[in-house]
Chain A
Amino acid sequence: MTEPRRKILIVDDDEWNLDLLEQVLGERFEVRRASSGEAALASLREFPAELVLLDVVMPGLDGYATCERILQAPETRRLKVILLSGNGGRAERLRGYAVGASDFLVKPFDPDELLAKVDVFLALKTAQDESRAKSDFVANLSHEIRTPMTAILGYSENLRDGNLTPAARQEAIDTIWRNGQHLLELVNNILDLSKIEAGCMTVEPGVCDPVEIVHEVVAMMRARAVGRGLALDAVLESPVPERIVSDRTRLKQILINLVGNGLKFTERGGVRIGVRFVDGEPGREPALEFVVADTGIGIDRATIETLGRPYVQGDASTTRRFGGSGLGLSISRQLARLLGGDLTIDSEPGRGSQFTVRIATGPLDGVPLVRSLDAGGARSAPVAETGAPRRQLAQRRILLAEDGADNQRLFRFVLQKAGAEVVVVENGREAVDCALAAAGSAQPFDVILMDMQMPVLDGYSATAELRDVGYTGPIIGVTAHTMAADRQRCLDMGCDRYAAKPVDREALIRTILEVVERR
């Protein structure tokens, strides 16, 4: 997040004074003008100034009255007000302090002195705001800690009861685990933030695979997304380096935090991680950008400017509705900077949010580019558990005609794992007899997987024979031949579809479902 310019309201009925003040302050601050006390109060309703430079002598509401009203209003009571007057006598100063002004500057003022005072009072306001935020944070944190602790102790007490039903016992165990995990995450965030604030947070750069990291984050967060009925996916927005030099653990921490926030603050739609390689920007090193976009509640501009500060989650109502300690974004931002980049936010209320993490890649000499998310990682490396196997073929009855013992076992394993009942035959003759017998019974086959190369009667002939006698059930030809002519022959003989060996199980299951559900 880039540091926004701090906002100052200048109030004077003399346009020339306003011009002068704007000239002095305009380079470093965002300045708004008002020509009267009334205009100043109106302006503060939609301009979130942090400091007001207020002329004392004005028609209508003078500076004292305006200052008093500003500091009495709940929305503006924490502003700093510096009164400006041509009369700097003792009585005037005391009256100014009595209405709450922070300081009193006598005209004509020294521009450097004015800037110095503005800096001092803005720094003071920042320190007071952060102190207040920390107090609010601690108060919120107490709730964040006490709530899961209460659950843990309460359910632990329940577990002492030997008469719990198995379901109640499991619920207690699950609750204790879940709340313990939440506490652990909270403690880790607090410790991380403490390290960052003490300047002790370090990163350990090493060679890492950005595509693999994205896969791991998606796998890790998928169950949470599914649990909330949200989509979670990832996409390469450009070819990206196969490997970079960065801190894998910290990068993953940032992405997990951003995706977790996205899922937390989204009620419909989902979260997407986009990855793009940024190279060739003049004067800048190559970088990798991870864009975490959600379709959630969005963030207004004023809140964006406070995010990334520790202890601030946004407004209090958000905290109450969505929970959370407000540490994650601040930590993520600091980590992104340690990784040679930054974290920026683009958001609008009601239109979702987009968090962009930019990190340095390190040297990329000779590193190839990856063009697809599927290219990352070795094909046969085991994937993480993401859930119980989906039994897409539950209650389906499949006839497998295959003569190879190894293939019989492999196909049977895949199909049974997907929930199907599988009957295996070893040649085309047995396939025809078995299919026709089942068709005439109460348990016909939902689909036949017909290997095309079999002894006694091959798959082509078996399929043709079945169609000749009026068999209408779905038949999927399985062939090791990859020539288009062989595949077409499968269809010409009466197969509904074909699958080429080696058969991909997901593709096979999809094909089976398509032909079965079409009937």
Chain B
Amino acid sequence: MNDAAAYLAIVASDRLPTPGPVALELTALVQQVDVDFADVVRVVASDPAICARALRAVNSAAHGAGRRVATVDDAVRLLGLRGIARLAIEVSVLERNRGGIAEFDYGTFWADALARAVAAQVLGRLTRRVPADEAFTYGLLSTIGRLALVSVHTDVYRQMLLTLGRATAAEREEAERAVFQVDVELLSALMLRSWGLPALHVALGAPMADGETLPRTERDTATLRICRAAGHVAGLLTAGSVSRRQLAAAMQALADVSVGAELAAEAFPDIVEGFRDSGALLAIRTPVVGTLAEIYAHATEVPAQTNP
């Protein structure tokens, strides 16, 4: 399935969704060995959206700064260089890709992405294997490859949506693989790597363009597993109704990151609250979510496959 040419064609396209120039400049800056802190602050300050988001982040209760932060300088110090670069990418990718073709539901896409982000953040905190803020960024952008397909292969994606009609998320993913010959997870990982976020690409063990593969760390693997578990949890938050099969898959994915059923039930309200609050902060419309017990109670049976 992994047709290298298909991936290359997408990532080389000038229609590929990218972070804005400020975010890319920040990403490049923080990777320098002798980066000048003042330069980072200057670049951040040049983008009001990034500034605002950075200040909101450090002043949120979750960040626990303890005092009100009012300057970009202090915000960057508290977030750290890599943290501000990640935040800049989040902000710019979101703001530059809120809309496009009429047939693609960007609202639902970003709601799902945000649910993944918040779930990943909580899982990062629970497992202590990936910093929570880093997990948030990876979760948010772990399906950015789907937007790439929409942007680069607009007509074909549109036709695919119109042909499929009402389809489950799983069906849509199958169709994407069949039609575009790419896997959204790997495509997203490739894109994130180009933005200075290599963990998913490394964890997937995919080779670089020159055939080289980088050594995989436990943190990389944990990031991938957390993102996958977060994807399952996001499905519980954003689906109108949930099947038993989805629930079982979500519980299994959480078990893979050492989060058992009891811990999941305890953490679920934090995820729901974070989802709602982040949605308000980022102007992403989020569905109302019940408790995990309610989701269990209303889970649907999915009949076995039958032939006519």
A residues with CB within 8 A of B? 177, 181, 184-185, 188, 204, 206, 208, 212, 215-216, 219-224, 226-227, 248-249, 256, 378-392, 394, 406-407, 409-410, 412-414, 417, 419, 501-506, 508
Whether a CB of chain A sits under 8 angstroms from the CB of B239 is yes
Shortest Cβ gap from A402 to chain B (Å)? 12
Q: Could you say which of B161, B239, B301 contacts A223, with CB atoms under 8 Å apart? A: B301
Residues of chain A with a CB closer than 8 A to B239's CB = 382, 384
Show 6 residue pairs from A and B whose CB-CB distance is below 8 angstroms, ordered by the A residue: A181-B297, A378-B107, A380-B104, A382-B167, A383-B240, A414-B163
Residues of chain B with a CB closer than 8 A to A221's CB = 300
B159→A501 contact, CB < 8 A: yes
B241→A216 contact, CB < 8 A: yes
B171→A391 contact, CB < 8 A: no
Q: How far is the CA of A419 from the CA of B308 in the complex (A)?
A: 10
B168→A410 contact, CB < 8 A: no
B174→A391 contact, CB < 8 A: no
Q: Could you say which of A184, A378, A504, A508 contacts B297, with CB atoms under 8 Å apart? A: A184
Among B156, B174, B298, chain A packs the most CB atoms within 10 A around the CB of B298
Given A413-B178, A413-B179: 20 more A-B contacts, CB < 8 Å:
A204-B288, A216-B240, A220-B298, A220-B300, A223-B301, A249-B290, A382-B108, A383-B166, A383-B167, A385-B246, A385-B300, A389-B171, A389-B305, A390-B308, A391-B307, A406-B153, A410-B160, A410-B175, A505-B164, A505-B165
Residues of chain B with a CB closer than 8 A to A385's CB = 168, 170, 243, 245-246, 300, 302
B163→A419 contact, CB < 8 A: no
- When C-beta atoms are compared, the residue in chain B nearest to A219 turns out to be B241
A388→B304 contact, CB < 8 A: yes
Whether a CB of chain A sits under 8 angstroms from the CB of B46 is no
Shortest Cβ gap from B241 to chain A (Å)? 4
Whether a CB of chain A sits under 8 angstroms from the CB of B37 is no
Shortest Cβ gap from A427 to chain B (Å)? 20
A380→B161 contact, CB < 8 A: yes
Q: Could you say which of A387, A412, A413 contacts B303, with CB atoms under 8 Å apart? A: A387
Residues of chain A with a CB closer than 8 A to B162's CB = 502, 504
B175→A413 contact, CB < 8 A: yes
Residues of chain B with a CB closer than 8 A to A383's CB = 166-168, 240
Q: How far is the CA of A169 from the CA of B156 in the complex (A)?
A: 45
Q: Could you say which of A204, A412, A419, A502 contacts B159, with CB atoms under 8 Å apart? A: A502
A504→B305 contact, CB < 8 A: no
Shortest Cβ gap from B286 to chain A (Å)? 11
A409→B103 contact, CB < 8 A: no
Among B163, B178, B305, chain A packs the most CB atoms within 10 A around the CB of B163
Q: How far is the CA of A338 from the CA of B274 in the complex (A)?
A: 28
Q: How far is the CA of A227 from the CA of B290 in the complex (A)?
A: 26
B303→A226 contact, CB < 8 A: yes
Chain B: residues with Cβ within 8 Å of the partner, total of 52
Q: A391-B308, A417-B174, A505-B165 are in contact. Are A384 and B303 (CB under 8 A)?
A: no
- When C-beta atoms are compared, the residue in chain A nearest to B239 turns out to be A384
Q: How far is the CA of A223 from the CA of B244 in the complex (A)?
A: 12
- When C-beta atoms are compared, the residue in chain B nearest to A383 turns out to be B166
Shortest Cβ gap from A230 to chain B (Å)? 14
Q: Could you say which of B104, B156, B243 contacts A384, with CB atoms under 8 Å apart? A: B243
Q: A226-B303, A227-B301, A502-B159 are in contact. Are A382 and B165 (CB under 8 A)?
A: no
A219→B165 contact, CB < 8 A: no
Q: How far is the CA of A387 from the CA of B243 in the complex (A)?
A: 9
Shortest Cβ gap from B252 to chain A (Å)? 13
Q: A206-B288, A381-B105, A384-B240 are in contact. Are A409 and B179 (CB under 8 A)?
A: yes
Shortest Cβ gap from B216 to chain A (Å)? 32
A380→B105 contact, CB < 8 A: yes
B298→A406 contact, CB < 8 A: no
Among A184, A410, A504, chain B packs the most CB atoms within 10 A around the CB of A410
Q: How far is the CA of A185 from the CA of B298 in the complex (A)?
A: 8
Residues of chain A with a CB closer than 8 A to B307's CB = 391, 394, 419
| Chain B window 160-202, contacts with chain A (Cβ cutoff 8 Å), 1 for yes, 0 for no | 1111111111111011001101000000000000000000000
Q: How far is the CA of A389 from the CA of B296 in the complex (A)?
A: 23
Q: How far is the CA of A181 from the CA of B298 in the complex (A)?
A: 8
Q: A385-B168, A388-B304 are in contact. Are A181 and B245 (CB under 8 A)?
A: no
B107→A188 contact, CB < 8 A: no
Whether a CB of chain A sits under 8 angstroms from the CB of B306 is yes
Residues of chain A with a CB closer than 8 A to B244's CB = 177
Residues of chain B with a CB closer than 8 A to A206's CB = 288
Q: How far is the CA of A188 from the CA of B167 in the complex (A)?
A: 32
Q: How far is the CA of A391 from the CA of B244 in the complex (A)?
A: 22
Shortest Cβ gap from B293 to chain A (Å)? 6
A181→B172 contact, CB < 8 A: no
A388→B303 contact, CB < 8 A: yes
Residues of chain B with a CB closer than 8 A to A390's CB = 306, 308
Q: Could you say which of A380, A419, A505 contacts B103, with CB atoms under 8 Å apart? A: A380
Residues of chain A with a CB closer than 8 A to B240's CB = 212, 215-216, 219-220, 383-384
Q: How far is the CA of A204 from the CA of B290 in the complex (A)?
A: 12
- When C-beta atoms are compared, the residue in chain B nearest to A504 turns out to be B165
Residues of chain B with a CB closer than 8 A to A256's CB = 298
- When C-beta atoms are compared, the residue in chain B nearest to A408 turns out to be B179
Residues of chain A with a CB closer than 8 A to B165's CB = 504-506
Residues of chain B with a CB closer than 8 A to A504's CB = 162-163, 165
Residues of chain B with a CB closer than 8 A to A389's CB = 171, 305
A387→B297 contact, CB < 8 A: no
Residues of chain B with a CB closer than 8 A to A222's CB = 300
A412→B178 contact, CB < 8 A: yes
Residues of chain B with a CB closer than 8 A to A208's CB = 288
Residues of chain A with a CB closer than 8 A to B246's CB = 385
Residues of chain A with a CB closer than 8 A to B242's CB = 384
Residues of chain B with a CB closer than 8 A to A410's CB = 156, 159-160, 163, 175, 178-179
Residues of chain B with a CB closer than 8 A to A501's CB = 159
Whether a CB of chain A sits under 8 angstroms from the CB of B204 is no
Q: How far is the CA of A185 from the CA of B294 in the complex (A)?
A: 8
Shortest Cβ gap from A282 to chain B (Å)? 34
B163→A184 contact, CB < 8 A: no
Residues of chain B with a CB closer than 8 A to A384's CB = 168, 239-243, 300
Whether a CB of chain A sits under 8 angstroms from the CB of B299 is yes
- When C-beta atoms are compared, the residue in chain B nearest to A404 turns out to be B156
Q: How far is the CA of A256 from the CA of B241 in the complex (A)?
A: 12
Shortest Cβ gap from A85 to chain B (Å)? 58
Residues of chain B with a CB closer than 8 A to A413's CB = 174-175, 178-179
Q: How far is the CA of A406 from the CA of B243 in the complex (A)?
A: 32
Shortest Cβ gap from B270 to chain A (Å)? 19
Shortest Cβ gap from A357 to chain B (Å)? 18
Q: How far is the CA of A505 from the CA of B297 in the complex (A)?
A: 33
Residues of chain B with a CB closer than 8 A to A406's CB = 153, 156, 159, 179
- When C-beta atoms are compared, the residue in chain A nearest to B244 turns out to be A177
Q: Could you say which of A188, A248, A502 contacts B288, with CB atoms under 8 Å apart? A: A248
Shortest Cβ gap from B199 to chain A (Å)? 27
Shortest Cβ gap from B277 to chain A (Å)? 15
Q: Could you say which of B163, B169, B179, B308 contacts A382, with CB atoms under 8 Å apart? A: B169
Among A216, A219, A382, chain B packs the most CB atoms within 10 A around the CB of A382
Q: Could you say which of A223, A378, A407, A412 contacts B108, with CB atoms under 8 Å apart? A: A378
